[in-house]
Amino acid sequence: MNIFIVEDEYWSLLELEGLLKKYEPKHKIYPFANGEDLINMLEEVTPQLVISDITMPGMSGLELIEQIKTFDESIKCVILSVHDQFEYARQGIKLGVIEYLIKPVKREALYDVVDRSISLIEEEHKEIEEKRHWSVNKMLQSEKELDEMNVFNQDDYYIIYMLAENWKASRGWSSSRGTDEDFKQILSDAYLTNEQIYCINIDNQRKLLLVAATDENQQYLFEAKINDLNKFINQDIHVHLSFMRKKYDESLMSIVHILEQRIENHMNYGQPSFIKGEETERNIDLTGEWMNIRVIETAIRNGEIIKAKVYVQHIVQSLKEKEITLRQLSLFLRNMYYALIFKLEQQKGSDVQIETVKKSFDYLQEISTFDELSHSLEQMIDQLVEEDLVHEVAPKNLIPRVLHWIHQQYQTNLKFQSFAEENHVSLSYLSREFKAQTGKTFSEYLMIYRINKAKEYFNKGINRTTEVSKLVGYEDDKYFTTVFKRLEGLTPAEYKKRL
């Protein structure tokens, strides 16, 4: 916060300034030799605390405080005087002075008064921010403007909308080391204090910053600070940011909706987005990806699961390099899925009505990395194979059924020998074919699938390791922990701390 000190005696002012240096850099100290200079500065910098001598030539301390209160009643004032008289105290109380110090001021007494004043100011600001936080959340949930929001609707504000990772991702602001105070510090300056910046945490994914709009001439400086903020927030999570200036009497809700729509339309997948305005969607050439999809279709028909998944990785890497948006990705994956369904069914001579084929792609709002995208697409390949698009029951075509069996029964005590016997095939032959098609032994595949499922349970908020261990087929939670660390490089407890 900004702390102004006013003292007409040169050496006394120098001493006060030196004593208050201990509060920097968190707080900024501004010394003045007279009240007139302070009043002139009010147009440029707003103080939260003023410490002023009473007896000064020209404008007295009490006259100064009266003018300060006219400018902004919320500014807290402390007076210094050699007079220990009731009349001064009475006038000070009438003007809203919060403390009264007798000169010469002792170091301990000064620090005690300043500490209590700062605590009072911070507590009041916290109460105001919590009330406005509640009001904004209530407004967003009810879709109605509230009377409490008039303070925002009737003033100019910059509205900064920040989405962490993705709309329904497991990672969000709780995974970021940055705090609301950090964000305020980056945006504040001599013309804009922390108290003029409101942080509204809608949920673990969405955050609003409401920043009092400065003079039009300072707009380019503020936009430079948003660039600094954008760099800072993307250190350990991906954030999608857009901002807009809300003019006087414009509805806060209408601006929030515009920013939300901007992000929804233009946010990148798996990478941060800085959306400065109504951008035209960038066209990307997906010819190479469609060539890979044709290879995947052939590989699925031939039971070549490894090859299909290798080409999935090619597609994912290419999409990452092309900086695809979430909207473009959703459309591409829908078209990819329906094209594969159509081609594979057509190969069998079936008459496919695409409109009757339904698959939800809502999961795209729950993932936020290209590794997660790869995993999802590999699951889609497994699903296509499991749906018995190829009907022959030769041993090599039993592998899709093995995968389906694992995916449905992984919580139980699975025995590969039992599956081989039930399908009248040699275990050794089936094992070789399984590794040829998946690149892993049956035990390795089952172990990896179970640990991936365990991570999904942890991501959904199931925190007890013992419970998750049983959910994925391990009765011994110590053995589960050993397997988890072997595959992930960290224990379940360490993994959960990173969420």
Provide CATH 3.30.70.270 ranges for the chain. Answer: 145-275
User: Is the pLDDT confidence value at 396 over 80?
Assistant: no
Highest mean pLDDT among 48-57, 169-178, 445-454: 445-454
Homologous superfamily (CATH) of 2-121 is Response regulator (3.40.50.2300)
- Of the two residues 33 and 104, the one the predictor is more confident about is 33
C-alpha span between 22 and 4 (Å, rounded): 15
CATH class of 145-275: alpha beta
Assess whether the previous peptide bond of 104 is cis (omega < 30° from 0).
Answer: yes
pLDDT at 300: 83
Poorest-pLDDT segment among 66-75, 160-169, 281-290, 392-401: 392-401
Q: What is the pLDDT of residue 251?
A: 77
Q: Which tens digits make up the pLDDT trace of 60-69?
A: 888 888 888 8
The DSSP bridge pattern shows strands 239-246 and 157-164 to be: antiparallel
Closest CA to 160 of 131, 199, 129, 189: 199
CB-neighbour burial class of residue 217 (10 A; exposed 0-12, middle 13-18, buried 19+): exposed
* pLDDT at res. 390: 43
pTM of the model: 0.62
Q: Which of 84-98, 191-205, 477-491 has the lowest mean pLDDT?
A: 84-98
pLDDT at 170: 87
The dihedral region occupied by 93, where left means phi > 0, alpha psi between -120 and 50, and beta the remainder, is alpha
Amino acid (one-letter) located at 302: N
Q: pLDDT at residue 143 above 80?
A: no
Q: Is 99 left (phi over 0), alpha (psi -120 to 50) or beta?
A: beta
Write down the CATH superfamily of domain 392-499: Homeodomain-like (1.10.10.60)
| Alpha carbon distance 267, 269 (integer Å) | 7
Mean pLDDT, the chain, integer: 83
From start to end of 93-167, where are the E strands? 99-102, 157-164
CA atoms of 163 and 209, how far apart (whole Å): 12
Q: Quick one: which of 112, 51, 100, 41 has its CA closest to 77?
A: 51
Residues 6+ apart with CB under 8 A from 423: 393, 398, 401, 430
Under the banding of pLDDT at 50, 70 and 90, the label for residue 467 is very high
Task: Give the pLDDT mean for 398-403.
Answer: 84
pLDDT band for position 304 (cuts 50, 70, 90): confident
Residues of the chain with CATH 3.40.50.2300: 2-121
pLDDT at 328: 92
Nearest to 79 by CA among 37, 124, 32, 113: 113
Instruction: Give the model's pLDDT for residue 311.
Output: 93
Residues of the chain with CATH 1.10.10.60: 392-499
* Interval 162-214: pLDDT, tens: 999 999 998 899 889 888 889 988 888 766 777 778 888 888 999 999 888 76
Question: Which residues contact residue 242 at a Cβ distance below 8 angstroms, ignoring those fewer than 6 apart?
Answer: 160, 161, 259, 262, 263, 274, 275, 276
Does residue 426 carry a pLDDT above 50? Answer: yes
What is the Cα–Cα distance from 408 to 366, expressed in whole angstroms?
A: 22
Q: Can you give the pLDDT at residue 379?
A: 86
Instruction: State the average pLDDT over residues 270-296.
Output: 87
190 to 3, 52, 61, 209: CA distances (angstroms): 11, 20, 24, 19
CA–CA distances in Å: residue 67 to residues 92, 101, 113, 285, 493: 13, 20, 22, 64, 59
- N-to-C CA span, the chain: 34
Question: Percent of the chain at pLDDT above 70?
Answer: 85
